[in-house]
Structure 1
Amino acid sequence: MSDTVLAPAAEVPETVATYLRLRGLKPSSTSWKRKRRITVDDDNAPFTPGRDPGTLGDVLDRLSRDSGWQTTLAREDLVRQWADLAGADTAKHSEPVSLERGLLTVKCDSTAWAKNLQFMRGTILTEIGRRYPDAGVENLRFIGPDVPSWKWGPRAVPGRGPRDTYG
């Protein structure tokens, strides 16, 4: 072991020097310093910044934003999560039926429910704007149940319709 000469301590890391000393080997003449990586400006080169895999949520957000689907998806979320937005009891008696030009139309079981939701219009509209800003809802309209119409069929005639039939 006396003929084994180690390089100065500044050149060889302590762990490597200990290993070589125990094995009775000489360190190689090459420098033990780590080589610097060559930086490449190519976006497709491996190990460059931005090459790490992203989360699936980030990829889907970017896809929906780039494709222009955000408004459509926000509107779908609004309709699907109406029970969470308006409350479970309210959702049992109402459902959104259309969203056109910023006007959300909600159909209710009765005119009483439509009137009560009319009083809550500001709160519901604020909550929609907070949760679904991309949906584009600017106004709400609450309608009662459908009433029978006499204006249908192949023989419908214009005019006031039957008035004296009910006594």
Structure 2
Amino acid sequence: MLMRMADDSVDPAVQALARARSVSGSQSRRRAVKPTHYSGAAPDDRDPGALGRILDDWARSHGYSHRLAVSALLDRWEQIVGSEVAAHVSVGEYRPTKSGGTVVLTADSPSWALQMKYLKDTVLVRIEEEVGPGVVSHISIVGPKESSRRAGRLRVRHGRRSPRI
């Protein structure tokens, strides 16, 4: 069945093709094994997971969950306390402790500092709802720095009044 050329020789390309066919025919082809059962619509171990859940599990296993919770507190401060309070009170510092952590809130006026002292328990509950329990256990509130009244050019010395004219 090989094609012969005019001079009764066999074409080398045809010979190579015949060899390839004979070699491949000698090896039996294996068919892919079909699964005996199908996955179906119910969830199983091979289904992809939700990215948020996967990242939460990874952060928890690598010890980043507490840092992420503190970052969430700083990021969601306006949602936690509302826009009016957030305009006058900001998160100044977070100090980790054994029982959770202390958040230092900085108010822009003494009246807002006093108002936050009244709202401290409510804000603590809102932080636990929004960020999670155990992240913040105590809230410390500081007002603005008062101006220092030190000696200056126009200072009255020793508490005396200025002379009357």
TM-score, normalised relative to structure 2: 0.60
Task: Give distance in 1, aligned partners of 2:133 and 2:124.
Answer: 13
Does residue 83 (structure 1) correspond to residue 83 (structure 2)? The answer is no
Deviation at 1:164, TM superposition (A): 10
Percent of counterpart pairs with the same letter? 27
Task: Give distance in 2, aligned partners of 1:148 and 1:116.
Answer: 21
Task: Give distance in 2, aligned partners of 1:57 and 1:144.
Answer: 38
Does residue 68 (structure 1) correspond to residue 67 (structure 2)? The answer is no
User: CA contact under 8 A between 1:104 and 1:139: conserved in structure 2?
Assistant: yes
User: CA contact under 8 A between 1:70 and 1:134: conserved in structure 2?
Assistant: no
1:67-125: CA deviations, max 9, x gaps? 11111011101111111111110000010011102111010110100000100111111
Counterpart position of 2:109: 110
1:15-72: CA deviations, max 9, x gaps? xxxxxxxxxxxxxxxxxxxx8728xxxxxxxxxx512221211221111111111110
The letter for the 1-side match of 2:62 is S
Task: Give distance in 2, aligned partners of 1:163 and 1:125.
Answer: 43
Counterpart position of 1:45: none
Task: Give distance in 2, aligned partners of 1:120 and 1:134.
Answer: 18
The letter for the 1-side match of 2:69 is A
Task: Give distance in 2, aligned partners of 1:134 and 1:72.
Answer: 14
Cα distance change of structure 1 residues 36 and 55 upon mapping to structure 2, 3 Å threshold: closer
Residue 54 of structure 2 aligns to a residue whose secondary structure is: helix
Deviation at 1:146, TM superposition (A): 2.1
Deviation at 1:147, TM superposition (A): 2.9
Unaligned 5+ runs, structure 1: 1-34, 39-48, 151-160
Match of 2:87 among 88, 92, 112: 92
The letter for the 1-side match of 2:130 is R
Counterpart position of 1:139: 138
Aligned-residue CA RMSD (Å): 2.6
Cα distance change of structure 1 residues 78 and 51 upon mapping to structure 2, 3 Å threshold: same
Task: Give distance in 1, aligned partners of 2:144 and 2:108.
Answer: 6
TM-score, normalised relative to structure 1: 0.60
Counterpart position of 1:9: none
Larger radius of gyration: 2
Cα distance change of structure 1 residues 149 and 50 upon mapping to structure 2, 3 Å threshold: farther
Cα distance change of structure 1 residues 103 and 89 upon mapping to structure 2, 3 Å threshold: same
Counterpart position of 1:166: 155
The size of the alignment, in residue pairs, is 113
Task: Give distance in 1, aligned partners of 2:74 and 2:90.
Answer: 8
